[in-house]
Structure formats: C-alpha cells, structure tokens
Chains A and B, each alone.
Chain A
C-alpha cells in the first residue's frame, strides 16, 4: 500500500517536471496554464498588506457597487487580475440552500466579483467548489448557477477526473486529493461566506479551502485547526473577499432558517488570508487569538492577525 503511494508521487513529480519542459502551451487555451511555480511554497509575508472593510449603510444600497468600491480601495481588480488570466473564484457553495439562508456565498457578491474580473481582462473565470450536498442542487439553489449563466463564467462541477493526489506538505496532511482547477488557475480569488461552526468556531477564508480538496473530508474534523492551516498554506489566493452581507450566527455551518441569519451588510477584502479571517472574527465579537486555526496560521507565517500592521481602510456606502 505504502509502496504504491510512494510510486504514484514520484511518478507525478517526474511528470510535473516533464510538463515544465514541454511547456504549458499545450493546453493553455482549454484549462489554463498550470501553476508551475511550486504551489506548496509557504506564502511570503506580504509587503503592502491591506485589509479593506466595506459597509453598506444606506437603505437599498447596491451590493455590486459595494464590492466594486472595496476592490477600488485596494487599487482596483487589476491589482489582482491581469489581462488574459484564467481566474478561479472559490465561493462557499457547500449546501443546497437558497441565498436568504446565508449558508452559501451571496450570489450578488459572486456576480460582482466575476464581472470585475472580466473587466480587468480575465480570459476565463471559473466558479469552483467541491460541494458537500449534490453539486447540481448546490449550484441551482445557491444562485451560483444563475451567476455563471448571467456572467459567462464556467461552472466547474466536482468530478472524479478532476481530483488528483498531491503533496500538500502540511504538518497533518501529506498527500491528499486536490480539486485541480484551483491550482491550474493563473489567479485565485477566495470568496467565503462568514458563518459560525461548532468545531472550528468560525468558517471564514482559510476554512473555505476544504472545498478545494476531495477525499475523506469528514476525517479532517479530527484535527480541524491544523488541517485548515495545512490547506491554507497550500492554496494561495491572490486575494480573499469575505462575504458578510448576510451572516449565519447560529446553527452553522448549514443553518436552514432565516432566524439563524444576521444581516451585517459587510465585506472584508484582504491580500493576507490570516488578517482577513482575523477581521472576520471581529464581526462575531470573537478575539482572533482565541481561534485555533488563526493562531496556527500566524505561527506558520501565513500572515498576521495584528491588523495594525496592515493598511486598514473602510468604505461606507
């Protein structure tokens, strides 16, 4: 058993080198250029880290406009997406729930981000999530399917042929099946929704990467904080936008009733995944230092939970 595992890894690594030689030209047009720079390298401490909070105060404000303003405060979408890029947006569409239940990323936020990415010159935008409920129902009910239809983004269904064992090189996870479209993108935008969670306390940006892998995900809970951090150091989004327009404050992470939802009308944008989650924790009045995965991630050097070290801005609409 172990032998075969070792073999498959070495073979894959050999082929990856082969791919580097043969070049990514082969399929750049169809599935995007594979990210050949080692995806497992630790995230560098970003210079010029920022965290932008958008607040929709006005009655009937436009979520799309708030999304745009938040990105503008960070220098515009073109800071994160270049012309011709294949962009993956990773919302949280785990559950087959209607948008009002806030179990999934708000479709209006998702739509706004995709439009911004296209305007910034993205060649393709892909909506990618390995859902928990049946993917077709998740996409249909959460509004993500309609967003794809309206914006022309591709909806990538989780399929076994898109899962691939990869070296995560985490402290807890070594080899794990990864949902390949995420790592084959030029740019990745993480768009989680803020929710409470019984085991990890909160589900924000870093925990959203559980939707970037396949395999025995229900075993990750046995060491949830460590596995979240392992995944967060493997997947490196260009930027994280936490959707806190409607926030599930109890019965997380699946909810199921509008009484579980608080309307907060907020968005949090940051290029530092730890800072984004730390700021997100503030929405729930939870000190970031009391959340295991934020502590561990900071220790691992994935970012900082000390928001004063960052350029903080607020956008009010």
Chain B
C-alpha cells in the first residue's frame, strides 16, 4: 500500500467514526418510534430502552475502563473493547488518536481547514515542546485521584468531554436557535409559514431534542469547548498533544510498538514538509529523535513526502529503546495533585456528611461515595432524559461533584416509570434498573414537602389540587383533607389542603414541577429519604430502603451482606 493511500484510509476511518459518534449522540434520546403493543396483553410491563449502543465510544475508551477499575473496583460493561484498543496500541502505537477519536478528528479539521499558520511558522508550531508533558501530569493526577476514590476523569477524558460539550452545549444552542426562528414563523398569521415552522420543528426535533433541551452551566461547557477548539489555531491538535489524558495513557502503552518510521536519507531533500504536516509534533525524523509516543499515526509525513523518503514499516528492531518522555516534574506533580484533590474534594463535607438537600441524583444512582467513584460527568443521562430534569451540578455536591447529574425539579421531573438514565450510564454510576423495580421497591430519589406559606389553599388564596392530581404513586403520596382556612376578606372558606405521606413519596418532583407557584414552588423536593443513602433518611423504619435489601446493592453494600467488614464512616 502506498503511503498516500494510508492517509486516505485514515481520513475515511476518521470520518466514519466521527459520523458514528454523532449518530449515537443524536440517538441518545427517548426513542419516539417505540410504541408498546397493547393487544397481546393489556398489561404492558415492557421497558422502553434505546435502539442503539450509545455507550460504545465509552466502552472503547481505556481511560474510563482503567479509572473505573481503580476507583470503583468494578469491570465496566463492555470493557473488552477498551482492552482490545490497548492490545492494538501495544503493537501499533496511538492509532486510536489518529484513526478513531472523534474529538481528535474535530481538532484535526479545526487545525487543517484554512490554517492560521503557514510555512515556517507552521513548522515552528509543530516542533516538539516540553509542554507536551502536561498530559502525563494530567493523566497521573486522574489515575492517582481515582485510586484515592475520586474519579473526575470525565472532566478531561476526550470522549466524555466531546459528548458533554455537544450534548449539553452545542446541540442545545443550535436547537434553541432554530426554535427561536420557528417561533417567529409560527407567530405569523400566514398559514403556509405556520406549516413551515411545524415542518421544521418535526424535522429538527429528533436531532435537537423533542422539547428543546437546555442545561444549567451549558454556556460554560460551550465556552470551554470553543476555547479548546480555538487552541488549534495556535498549534494544530493542541489538545491531543498537550492536554489529552487518554492520549497520554495510549502513549504509555505504545511502548512496544513495532510499527516504526523509516527514512531514506539519500532521497530526503530536507524540505521539511513532513515537519509542517506532523499532527503530533513528533519530529518525524527517525534518525533525529522521532518520538513514537507522540506520533498520532496520521501518516501525513510519509504520505506527503514528495521524494517518498519516509515510510512506516513493521519491524521488531523498531522496538523503542525508551518509554514516553514524561519528565520528573510531571510525574511528581501528578502524584501530588492526585493525592490532594480527593482530599480537598472531601472538605465540602458532602461525602461523609449528608449532602446538600438539593443534590438529587437520578433514580438508581449509587450512594454518593460510590457514585463519585464512577460518574464520568459525560452527560449521557442528561441528554437521554425525556423531561430535561437532569442537569450538571454546579455547587450542589461540592467540588468533587462538579458537573455530575443533578435533578432540578423546576426544570423537569422524573417520570415515574422511566429508566432511561440508568440504561445509558457507561460506568454504572447509575445502576440499570427496570420500571418494575423502580416502582415496586420503590427507588426513591428524595421526598416532597409542602411550603404552606406559599401554597394556594394553605394560604387562603383559593382551591388548587395540582400536586395531588399529578402524584404518580398509588395510593397517592400527596393526599388532601377538607378543612376551613381564613381568607383575606376575613371570611372563612372550605378547601382541600395537601399533605405529604413520606412513606409513599418517591421524590419524583412532578408536584414541584407542576405547582402553579412558579420559580420557588409551594411544594419542594429534597434529597432526604433517597433510597441510595443509608444516612440520608427521615423515617425510623426506612433503612436506606431498597439498596440495603438487595437489587440495587452497591459494591460496598454487597460486602456488608456477606458479613465482611466495611468502613464505619459509611454507617454514621
């Protein structure tokens, strides 16, 4: 195969994987083409799940596999894909960065299309630099920190970062922009224009979300993403060379790569085209320190060489004599940061004390400590949620829980029988449960209480039973009593007053969402009573419910059941 063909092969592979990534991202939504069959059996207990394996790229990702193993001591679903990537990396080097990684492809495009730098400046920008060691520092920070029980890999992992940026910022921004246009057209009184807007809405809603999703802190996620993209104008694939922890991990595993670069010094005219186009800043001169750990296998050097002086060959003799150039400072720094961040993360008191009342985790989420060991903050649960209730946390869970999923009941509510978030979680931080489990155990995410001062009937402002009407449990957790309340005109009136039965409440939040008192509703859901926590309980006869009684057991809880010792702290 000629070197030029390899470049095209790489481009085709990059395009296919990018398209696949985008396709799976778009399909991470409530599948609106599934209609349950009713004639076979009137009682339908089928669960609605996704058509496509939306976690594929996360399973392919060795960094997520390794950090989940280190922090949560679990083998995540489909991790053999990641093992396969590592095995191939051992032989080939960082083929994942050059051929597969969708974020890498985007960076590649951002750096190549109308490049900001030309000629000598580009050659200069593509020189190897000391700053490329930063990625090892970040990798070590993430690995050590995971080992210490705080896994924030997803903040920097390219797959999580790309998914989060697209799903929580780019797509919602485009979707809401299109909606703004549709709304203007829909407001028109000319019928064909109305139809046009309806048609546009029907067409774009599968891509941008049926209900026009938007997310708290979405702007920040978007700005960061734009900054990372912009860095490609300063140096091509800045992210991949300098920051990407997955790239660093793969670089370490490329230790035994037998695919090496060879150069025919006789034909080389030293035109430096290879240096100009090198994506990894790996100085593509085998005799002058070509760094195989920095090489992204883009094949630009061999494919672009006018004299065909460069070529990639399989040879045992290519076995590199040394490992990746990490630098002592990066290693020590990584160790220090990896140890300190988990410790600092606990200073908020959110791990060993009962957490913020407004930190409401998705149904099936593990208890907070185990949850933070596994959550990637990738945004899959947030993207798939049909009501848009799951949002990235800002401060609710402290530093350690930044951008982890948090349910904000004024923005949506948890649908009683919906289990999609758990079914897409790539690491099992949210356990996969069935509708039946969710309803029958039940899986509680919090509990509601009435704020009597704002409640319309309680405050004498008139009848309203909206919270009770929407309450999904049977019998209803919100019940009504006919009582006499004073009115502003001095008279008294008989109204139905809402009360909450904590034993029945699952914390779904539809009462808070539908309450006519907007902004700060008259019925609020707090995390207390959530099934996942042993400590965060209100009633004496609730023992962290379903989690302790099996079904949703966390790794630690399983040890308790087997009679093995566990940390006293967990039980405080």
Chain A residues engaging chain B, CB cutoff 8 angstroms: 11-12, 14-15, 18-19, 26-27, 30-31, 34, 95-100, 107-108, 132-137, 139-141, 143, 145-146, 148-149, 157, 159-162, 197-199, 216, 218-219, 221-222, 224, 251, 253-260
Q: How far is the CA of A81 from the CA of B10 in the complex (A)?
A: 61
Asked if residues A198 and B468 are in contact (CB atoms below 8 Å), the reply is yes
Q: How far is the CA of A185 from the CA of B211 in the complex (A)?
A: 25
A99 contacts which chain B residues (CB < 8 A)? Answer: 38, 42, 44
Stretch at the interface among B107-115, B128-136, B410-418, B562-570: B410-418
Name 14 extra pairs, CB < 8 A, besides A100-B44, A198-B465.
A27-B191, A30-B195, A34-B191, A98-B43, A100-B43, A134-B415, A136-B30, A140-B35, A145-B36, A159-B202, A161-B185, A222-B516, A251-B476, A255-B474
> Which of A97, A161, A216 is close to B516, meaning CB atoms less than 8 Å apart?
A216
Q: How far is the CA of A95 from the CA of B473 in the complex (A)?
A: 12
Known contacts A98-B44, A140-B36: A221-B198 contact under CB 8 Å: no
Q: Which of B473-526 contact A (CB under 8 A)?
A: 473-476, 480, 496, 514-516
Q: How far is the CA of A26 from the CA of B43 in the complex (A)?
A: 44
Asked if residues A12 and B36 are in contact (CB atoms below 8 Å), the reply is no
Q: How far is the CA of A146 from the CA of B30 in the complex (A)?
A: 16
Which are the 5 A-B pairs with shortest beta-carbon distances? Answer: A145-B35, A256-B474, A15-B189, A143-B38, A257-B474
B16 to chain A: closest CB distance in Å? Answer: 30
Q: How far is the CA of A157 from the CA of B387 in the complex (A)?
A: 15
Known contacts A146-B36, A198-B468: A136-B191 contact under CB 8 Å: no
Asked if residues A161 and B470 are in contact (CB atoms below 8 Å), the reply is no
Known contacts A137-B418, A160-B186: A146-B386 contact under CB 8 Å: no
Asked if residues B197 and A96 are in contact (CB atoms below 8 Å), the reply is no
> Which of B35, B470, B516 is close to A219, meaning CB atoms less than 8 Å apart?
B516
List 11 contacting pairs A-B, 8 Å CB cutoff, sorted by A. A31-B191, A96-B415, A98-B45, A99-B38, A100-B44, A134-B210, A136-B386, A139-B35, A143-B44, A199-B496, A221-B469
Asked if residues B465 and A221 are in contact (CB atoms below 8 Å), the reply is yes
A250 to chain B: closest CB distance in Å? Answer: 8
Q: How far is the CA of A146 from the CA of B417 in the complex (A)?
A: 19
Known contacts A141-B44, A199-B463, A222-B464: A132-B37 contact under CB 8 Å: no
Q: Which residue of A lies closest to B183 (CB)?
A: A160
B462 contacts which chain A residues (CB < 8 A)? Answer: 222
Q: Which residue of A lies closest to B462 (CB)?
A: A222
B45 contacts which chain A residues (CB < 8 A)? Answer: 98
Asked if B538 is at the interface of the complex by the 8 Å CB criterion, the answer is no
Asked if B32 is at the interface of the complex by the 8 Å CB criterion, the answer is yes
A161 contacts which chain B residues (CB < 8 A)? Answer: 182-183, 185-186, 194, 197-198, 201
A219 contacts which chain B residues (CB < 8 A)? Answer: 516
Report B190-231 CB contacts with A as 1/0, cut-off 8 Å.
111011011001100100001100000000000000000000
Asked if residues B475 and A251 are in contact (CB atoms below 8 Å), the reply is yes
Most buried by A among B195, B462, B472: B472
Asked if B106 is at the interface of the complex by the 8 Å CB criterion, the answer is no
A123 to chain B: closest CB distance in Å? Answer: 17
Asked if residues A96 and B417 are in contact (CB atoms below 8 Å), the reply is yes
A-B contact count (CB 8 A): 148
Q: Which residue of B lies closest to A156 (CB)?
A: B198
B505 to chain A: closest CB distance in Å? Answer: 13
Q: How far is the CA of A248 from the CA of B211 in the complex (A)?
A: 30
Q: How far is the CA of A141 from the CA of B183 in the complex (A)?
A: 29
Asked if B48 is at the interface of the complex by the 8 Å CB criterion, the answer is yes
B195 contacts which chain A residues (CB < 8 A)? Answer: 27, 30-31
Asked if residues B44 and A26 are in contact (CB atoms below 8 Å), the reply is no
Q: Which residue of B lies closest to A14 (CB)?
A: B189
A107 contacts which chain B residues (CB < 8 A)? Answer: 38-39
A253 contacts which chain B residues (CB < 8 A)? Answer: 469
Main secondary structure of the interface of A (DSSP, over half): helix
A218 contacts which chain B residues (CB < 8 A)? Answer: 464, 466, 514-516
Most buried by A among B30, B45, B417, B514: B417
Q: Which residue of B lies closest to A221 (CB)?
A: B464
Asked if residues A141 and B480 are in contact (CB atoms below 8 Å), the reply is no
Asked if residues B201 and A159 are in contact (CB atoms below 8 Å), the reply is yes
Asked if B150 is at the interface of the complex by the 8 Å CB criterion, the answer is no
B422 to chain A: closest CB distance in Å? Answer: 16
A291 to chain B: closest CB distance in Å? Answer: 15
Q: Which residue of B lies closest to A98 (CB)?
A: B44
B460 to chain A: closest CB distance in Å? Answer: 13
Q: Which residue of A lies closest to B473 (CB)?
A: A256
Q: How far is the CA of A160 from the CA of B37 in the complex (A)?
A: 29
A255 contacts which chain B residues (CB < 8 A)? Answer: 474
> Which of B44, B194, B416, B463 is close to A222, meaning CB atoms less than 8 Å apart?
B463
A216 contacts which chain B residues (CB < 8 A)? Answer: 516
Asked if B540 is at the interface of the complex by the 8 Å CB criterion, the answer is no
Asked if B456 is at the interface of the complex by the 8 Å CB criterion, the answer is yes
> Which of A26, A98, A157 is close to B36, meaning CB atoms less than 8 Å apart?
A98
> Which of A98, A133, A199, A222 is close to B469, meaning CB atoms less than 8 Å apart?
A199
B192 to chain A: closest CB distance in Å? Answer: 7
A18 contacts which chain B residues (CB < 8 A)? Answer: 189
Q: How far is the CA of A195 from the CA of B457 in the complex (A)?
A: 24
Q: How far is the CA of A160 from the CA of B182 in the complex (A)?
A: 9
Q: How far is the CA of A235 from the CA of B200 in the complex (A)?
A: 28
Asked if residues B386 and A137 are in contact (CB atoms below 8 Å), the reply is yes
B469 contacts which chain A residues (CB < 8 A)? Answer: 197-199, 221, 253-254
Q: Which residue of B lies closest to A149 (CB)?
A: B35
Asked if residues B44 and A27 are in contact (CB atoms below 8 Å), the reply is no
A33 to chain B: closest CB distance in Å? Answer: 11
Q: Which residue of B lies closest to A13 (CB)?
A: B189
Asked if residues B415 and A133 are in contact (CB atoms below 8 Å), the reply is yes
Asked if B63 is at the interface of the complex by the 8 Å CB criterion, the answer is no
Q: How far is the CA of A157 from the CA of B48 in the complex (A)?
A: 19
B179 contacts which chain A residues (CB < 8 A)? Answer: 160
A14 contacts which chain B residues (CB < 8 A)? Answer: 189
> Which of A11, A96, A162 is close to B416, meaning CB atoms less than 8 Å apart?
A96
Asked if residues B198 and A259 are in contact (CB atoms below 8 Å), the reply is no
Q: Which residue of A lies closest to B417 (CB)?
A: A96
Asked if residues A146 and B465 are in contact (CB atoms below 8 Å), the reply is no
A184 to chain B: closest CB distance in Å? Answer: 10
Asked if B429 is at the interface of the complex by the 8 Å CB criterion, the answer is no
Known contacts A160-B186, A161-B186: A140-B48 contact under CB 8 Å: yes
Q: How far is the CA of A256 from the CA of B472 in the complex (A)?
A: 6
Q: How far is the CA of A135 from the CA of B201 in the complex (A)?
A: 15
Q: Which residue of A lies closest to B188 (CB)?
A: A15
A303 to chain B: closest CB distance in Å? Answer: 25
Q: Which residue of B lies closest to A250 (CB)?
A: B475
Q: How far is the CA of A148 from the CA of B211 in the complex (A)?
A: 21
Q: How far is the CA of A255 from the CA of B475 in the complex (A)?
A: 8
Most buried by B among A15, A100, A108, A134: A134
Q: How far is the CA of A162 from the CA of B38 in the complex (A)?
A: 29
Asked if residues A108 and B35 are in contact (CB atoms below 8 Å), the reply is no
Asked if residues A12 and B189 are in contact (CB atoms below 8 Å), the reply is yes
A146 to chain B: closest CB distance in Å? Answer: 4
Asked if B34 is at the interface of the complex by the 8 Å CB criterion, the answer is yes
Asked if B471 is at the interface of the complex by the 8 Å CB criterion, the answer is yes
B387 contacts which chain A residues (CB < 8 A)? Answer: 134
Q: Which residue of B lies closest to A198 (CB)?
A: B465
Known contacts A134-B211, A149-B35, A162-B198: A259-B496 contact under CB 8 Å: no
